[in-house]
Amino acid sequence: MKIVLFGAPGAGKGTQAVRIAQKYSIPHISTGDIFRANMKEKTPIGIIAKTFIDRGQLVPDEATIQIVKERLEKEDCQNGFLLDGFPRTVAQAEALDTFSSVDVVINVEVPLDKLLERITGRRVCPKCRESYHIKFLSGVTTCAKCGTELVQRADDNAETVAERLEVYKKETSPIIDYYAKQGVLITVNGEGDIEDVFNSICEKLG
């Protein structure tokens, strides 16, 4: 199965991606991970990508499309794949159509106020990276794993989050429309817990 996964920041997309890939025995292809690996190995494309990422800019379509194309040509993608973080523009979606088909596009939807609550309530351990939500911490301020004092990430405040979600929506809507017109889009309510959301995805995938 060839799957593209969409979900706003805070919608739990990463967790679902791992589970879907496992269940359907397909590689989870995250463009973020590929870029990080290429930058670490200092490949030509990694060096180009780094100049943009260091400046806080998106890597241009051309480079992004190239690394996804190369990745999808690998042996492990012959029975399908799950794309996470790509396509990010309609131009990327159109390019993808030229070198691979897409069976289904999953959009994990969570209402804006829910996303805000999830992200602004997030607390992370600066030492072991474990993530918590104040709703479940019931006043505890230290990491259950290593005892370190939990912190809120600087960009997890309401104002920045609202801005990030706005940008996400603006960027993603045209791509969602693009796939809706192709008749491959399924929308899943991402409000429940991880297990519920995963079950509704599986149900819809059949």
Is 145 one of the binding residues for Zn ion (CB under 5 A)? yes
- Is 125 among the residues that bind Zn ion (CB under 5 A)? yes
Minimum gap (Å) between residue 149 Cβ and Zn ion: 9
CA 48-51-57 angle, to 5 degrees, is 110
Stretch that binds Zn ion, among 19-27, 40-48, 81-89, 127-135 (CB under 5 A): 127-135
Tell me the C-alpha distance between 8 and 170, whole Å. Answer: 11
Catalytic residue among 13, 19, 118, 123: 13
**Alpha-carbon distance 136 to 140, whole Å?**
9
Please, what is the end-to-end C-alpha distance for the chain in angstroms?
A: 11
- The residue from 36, 50, 71, 122 that is catalytic is 122
We find the least distance from the C-beta atom of residue 136 to Zn ion, in angstroms, to be 15
Q: Does residue number 140 form part of the binding site for Zn ion (CB under 5 A)?
A: no
Q: Which residues contact 198 (CB under 8 A, 6 or more apart)?
A: 16, 19, 20
Task: State the catalytic residue, choosing from 19, 88, 118, 123.
Answer: 88
Which residues, in sequence order, are bridge partners of residue 30? Answer: 84
Please count the CA atoms within 13 angstroms of the CA of 173 that sit on its side-chain side.
5
Q: Which of these ranges, 16-24, 146-154, 173-181, 196-204, lies near Zn ion under the rule CB under 5 A?
A: 146-154
88 is catalytic: yes
23 binds Zn ion (CB under 5 A): no
Catalytic residue selected from 23, 40, 127, 153: 153
144 is an interface residue for Zn ion by CB under 5 A: no
**47 touching Zn ion, by CB under 5 A:** no
Cα separation, 106 vs 52, in Å, equals 28
# of chain residues touching Zn ion (CB under 5 A): 8
Q: For the CB of residue 131, give the shortest distance to Zn ion in the complex, in Å.
A: 10
CB 86 within 8 A of CB 72: no
Among 37, 47, 58, 146, binds Zn ion (CB under 5 A): 146
Respond yes or no: is residue 164 known to be catalytic: yes
| Residue among 129, 89, 96, 128 nearest 29 (CA) | 96
Asked if 197 touches Zn ion (CB under 5 A), the answer is: no
The backbone torsions φ and ψ at residue 90, rounded to the nearest 5 degrees and listed phi first, read -65, -35
* Footprint of Zn ion (CB under 5 A): 125, 127-128, 130, 143, 145-146, 148
Active site residue ranges: 13, 88, 122, 153, 164
